[in-house]
Amino acid sequence: LTCSVSFLVSVSEFSSAGGGDCALIGLEESESKHKRGFKQKRSRESCGMGSHRMGEMGLSDSGPTHHHHHHHLPYALLHGMNPSNTAFMSHPDPAFDFGELEEAIVLQGVKIRNDESRAGMLLFLSSPLLTLEMFPSWPMRFHHQQRGGSTDSGSGVNTISSKAEASAHHHHNNNMEPESPISRKAASSSSDHYHFHQMDQLAASNGGAGPSTSSHHQQQQNQSAEKPPNEKTLRRLAQNREAARKSRLRKKLQAYVQQLETSRIKLSQMEQELQRARQQGLFLSGCGGAGGNLSSAAAMFDMEYARWLEDDLRHMSELRTGLHAHLSDGDLRVTVDRYVSHYDEIFRLKGAAAKSDVFHLITGMWVTPAERCFLWMGGFRPSELIKMLISQLDPLTEQQVMGIYSLQHSSQQAEEALSQGLDQLHQSLVDTIAGGSVVDGMQQMAVALGKLANLEGFVRQADNLRQQTLHQLRRILTVRQAARCFLVIGEYYGRLRALSSLWASRPRDTLMGDENSSQTTTDLQMMQQQQQQSSQSHFASF
Amino acid sequence: MYQTESWGSPYVPASGRNGVGSYAGGGDPFERIEQLAAESAVVIFSISSCCMCHAIKRLFCGMGVNPTVYELDQAGDPIAGKEMEMALMRLIGASSAAALPVVFVGGKLVGAMDRVMASHINGTLVPLLKDAGALWL
């Protein structure tokens, strides 16, 4: 009894928290879990609502075999608990296992009979009544059917009585598609109807006439109901339980399938949205880091740049293989010229991007932080690149050396000129927007906008300078030298990019010590590997 | 303190030398351009407020060259100045309105900023300047 107490009370807790479905699960599980001791599983099964408490209440120790779970007495019923207080009563879920309930009611009746106590009989009398009252939300159909005597009865209580009455009845529960298990368990109507009325009569007489007559009557009825009880009733009840279980399972599956369907639809909708957004150039790439603040031109450029970087790796490996394979100069030239065109491509892309979003380029949002730090006018500084290359390009002829130094010199002069031009633009802009009266505000802005437009020209000229520098390098060097040179350039910027990510994941003095150092170690290892690879390629050849 | 108007550079603006606006007076703008270009070793057609023009001036000064600069927005006759700007645009084949600066060396057209830079990087500008007598070793 104690087990069942906790059972029912917990059920109401479940449901009062608002989860009829959870109560379902709980009850369902309790049935099957008795066999295995379900405490743990129940808490897993939680809707977040009361599973802990269910577990705590020790429902697992309610009995060794499933046959004993009929000890789950509807305590509330027995002790005249007002059904309207129990939330789950007022929201009878179709999948609720009334099989257990009806079983309990019947067997309690049996128990009482065995006791031969009047109080017990009274309780039995009252309990069916209470069960009838229990489901106020079934009202119309339930009562209607009872009055109208339709074949489909809606009450588990009816079943109890009918089962008790007609042992020979077969309930083809499995084939029926129930709206509620109660209706499924319906026996033939006539007997239900009859017994319901009998119940009514009993109830009516219960309050009025002396207990003896009614109880005697009831006793007779009960005896007749009771006679074949234990075996056949039990079997029928078991059948009902089984059917109820199957129905619940079916419903669960249906609900799940529906969920899957909805998710599938949502997924395809999202895919469509993504496709549309991509077409509109709103695809946000990982590098550049600005996330949601990219203009569509900037986002598109970032995408193109990412692709260009991938191509760069491919070109570099082509150069590497070409050098190692000792291709003829003619063949290697093709690869080298392809690499030059590869750079022409990025300058072309940058030129297009500069028309729409020059700030994205000039502020370096398209490169990694380490690159950005040393950015010059939206890209690399040609003279610095030459300086880096000079030591790596040995051996060079004297003419080549002179050519390289001359290139360095002229690029420096050009850079200086452009920088001064940009400084003047800056100064002019400051003069335009600083000071002046408020009235002139819009005029000021218009002039300032016009001046800002010159930024594009500077980025374009800087890219032009970069492009010309690379072309001149190509002219000065032999094919093999040029191949090595471009490899060096590619690897240099690759390392600069790697430096950015290493820096981001460097171990700091704060809490993040260990995880970052491991990340840094792996990055370092990666770099070392790459270095080994590359050192084989160009250092040895040089 | 840097000011936009006075260049503070070794060269003397043409307007100062020939008198304001005298170089832009009447006639075919193309002819005018050709005429002016032939008069000096290095000729830059510019607009005083243009930053790119400033950059190109800095470039030549940085190389030690003393170019002759004609500020077309400071020509006495603004219409004539505008005409010359348009003519220059045609000469260099500029698609957009940003034609200036345009550079002539030894009377021959070099081009706008990108051409000038390219020629400097590929090493053709310095010999050109030397030939025109604008640069001495």
Question: How many angstroms separate the CA atoms of A24 and A50, rounded?
Answer: 12
> What tokens appear for A226 in the block?
């009771």
Report the residue from B54, B113, B126 with minimal CB separation from A424: B54
Q: How far is B30 from chain A (nearest CA, A)?
A: 26
* B117 shares contact with chain A (CB less than 8 Å): yes
Cα–Cα separations (whole angstroms), residue A487 to A46, A334, A367, A389, A411:
60, 15, 19, 11, 21
Q: How far is B46 from chain A (nearest CA, A)?
A: 13
Mean pLDDT of B8-13: 41
Question: How many angstroms separate the CA atoms of A244 and A503, rounded?
Answer: 63
Question: How many angstroms separate the CA atoms of A19 and A33, rounded?
Answer: 20
Closest Cα partner for A244 from A188, A192, A182, A189? A182
**Lowest model confidence (mean pLDDT) among A82-86, A478-482, B22-26:** A82-86
Instruction: Please report residues of B whose CB lies closer than 8 A to that of A423.
Output: 2
What is the tens place of the pLDDT at every residue in A493-530?
999 999 999 998 888 875 554 555 555 555 566 666 65
Question: How many angstroms separate the CA atoms of A267 and A271, rounded?
Answer: 6
Q: How far is B26 from chain A (nearest CA, A)?
A: 30
Report the residue from A410, A411, A420 with minimal CB separation from B55: A420
What is the tens place of the pLDDT at every residue in A279-336?
665 544 444 444 556 788 999 999 999 999 999 999 999 999 999 998 888 999 999 9
Mean pLDDT of B14-33: 63
Distant-in-sequence, close-in-space partners of A162: CB < 8 Å, separation ≥ 6: A153, A169, A187, A188, A191, A192, A195
Strands of B42-46's sheet in order across: B68-71, B42-46, B102-105, B108-111
SS3 A519: helix
Mean pLDDT of B35-46: 95
* pLDDT-derived band at A98, boundaries 50, 70, 90: low
**Residue A238 — φ and ψ, nearest 5°?**
-65, -40
Angle between helix A234-279 and helix A156-165 axes, rounded to 10 deg: 150
What is the tens place of the pLDDT at every residue in A189-227?
444 444 444 445 544 444 444 444 444 444 444 444 555
What is the tens place of the pLDDT at every residue in A160-169?
444 444 444 4
Report the residue from A413, A420, A471 with minimal CB separation from B63: A413
CB A523 within 8 A of CB A537: no
DSSP codes, B13-74: -HHHHH-TTGGG-SS-HHHHHHHHHHHSSEEEEE-TT-HHHHHHHHHHHHTT---EEEEGGG
pLDDT reported for residue B70: 95
* B6 shares contact with chain A (CB less than 8 Å): no
- Cα dihedral angle (A343, A344, A345, A351), rounded to 10 degrees? 120
> What tokens appear for A459 in the block?
């980025």
Q: Is the pLDDT of residue A419 over 70?
A: yes
Instruction: Please report residues of A whose CB lies closer than 8 A to that of B4.
Output: 424, 427-428, 431
- The alpha carbon of residue A112 and the mean position of all alpha carbons in its chain are separated, in whole angstroms, by 54
Residue among A381, A402, A418 with most chain B CBs within 10 A, to mutate? A418
DSSP codes, A331-370: HHHHHHHHHHHHHHHHHHHHHHHHHH-HHHHHTTTTS-HH
Closest Cα partner for B69 from B98, B36, B28? B36
**Lowest model confidence (mean pLDDT) among A9-13, A132-136, A346-350, A410-414:** A9-13
Question: How many angstroms separate the CA atoms of A251 and A266, rounded?
Answer: 22
**Residue A171 — φ and ψ, nearest 5°?**
-105, 110
Exposed, middle or buried: residue B100 (CB in 10 Å: 0-12, 13-18, 19+)?
A: buried
- Cα dihedral angle (B22, B23, B24, B25), rounded to 10 degrees? 50
